[in-house]
């Protein structure tokens, strides 16, 4: 058992992929840029501005920094509007069970997410005051695979990286955990990363690590 558990948000605690896709798709359509779910998969665990750059790879136009910032804000407004549909029922039962069991064991729990909407999402699903610390896109400069968001989370809960476990569903997150000196547990595509320490089929597998 680890002293601290640092969770990615989207794809681990809850699932907002559909909302990200819908928001980016709406922006891409307006800009007449081809965008599909395969391209969307490349955005997993990636910051908003880096995601935009991936989408603009297929654009015939070159945009200014100011225009790109406006596009990112446009996407975020669409996304935040979609997030208002979320409720505590969007917190999967197995995730809730796992979190409560770890809490009973006295483990420190934190969020390590590149999303700047992390706190809003946690509030929508009823976890706004649950975690001991939240490190997200509002307090970092570098997004995953840089380990900054995880290192800040560990610092906030007062634990060394070697005593914390990162729980991720994206390869970029597993790479970030490795670079930061953390052990990691993967779900989904994260299990394909050669540096992942534990491969999980479901979140409750965390309780047997």
Q: From CA 19, how far away is CA 5, in angstroms rounded?
A: 26
Distance of CA 14 to the CA centre of its chain: 9
10 is catalytic: yes
**Could you tell me which of 192, 143, 209 has the C-alpha nearest to residue 5?**
209
Sheet containing 183-186: give its strands across. Answer: 133-135, 108-112, 4-7, 164-168, 183-186, 198-199
Catalytic one among 10, 136, 146, 169? Answer: 10
Q: In whole angstroms, what is the distance from residue 12 CA to residue 69 CA?
A: 28
Is 17 among the catalytic positions? no
Q: What are phi and psi of 111, to 5 degrees?
A: -105, 140
Contacts (Cβ under 8 Å, ≥6 apart) of 191:
199, 200
Active-site annotation holder among 8, 146, 169, 183 = 8
Paired tokens of 156? 């906030």
Where b means 16+ CB within 10 Å and e means fewer, 113-133 reads bbbbbbbebbebbebeebbbb
- Would you please indicate which residues are annotated as catalytic (active-site) residues? 8, 10
């Amino acid at each position: 058992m680890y002293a601290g558990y640092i969770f990615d948000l989207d794809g681990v605690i809850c699932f907002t992929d559909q909302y990200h896709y819908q928001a980016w798709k709406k922006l891409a359509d307006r800009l007449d840029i081809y965008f599909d779910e395969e391209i969307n998969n490349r955005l997993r665990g990636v910051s908003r501005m880096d995601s935009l750059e991936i989408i603009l790879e297929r654009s015939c136009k070159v945009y200014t920094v100011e225009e790109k910032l406006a596009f990112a804000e446009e996407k975020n407004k669409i996304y935040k509007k979609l997030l208002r549909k979320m409720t505590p029922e969007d917190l999967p039962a197995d995730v809730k069970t796992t979190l409560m069991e770890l809490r009973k064991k006295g483990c420190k729990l934190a969020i390590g997410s590149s999303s700047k909407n992390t706190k809003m999402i946690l509030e929508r699903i009823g976890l706004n005051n649950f975690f001991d610390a939240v490190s997200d896109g509002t307090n970092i400069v570098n997004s995953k695979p840089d380990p900054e968001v995880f290192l800040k989370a560990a610092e906030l809960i007062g634990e060394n990286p070697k005593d914390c476990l990162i729980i991720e569903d994206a390869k970029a997150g597993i790479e970030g955990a490795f670079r930061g000196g953390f052990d990691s547990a993967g779900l989904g595509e994260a299990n394909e990363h050669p540096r992942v320490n534990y491969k999980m089929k479901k979140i409750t597998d965390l309780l047997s690590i």
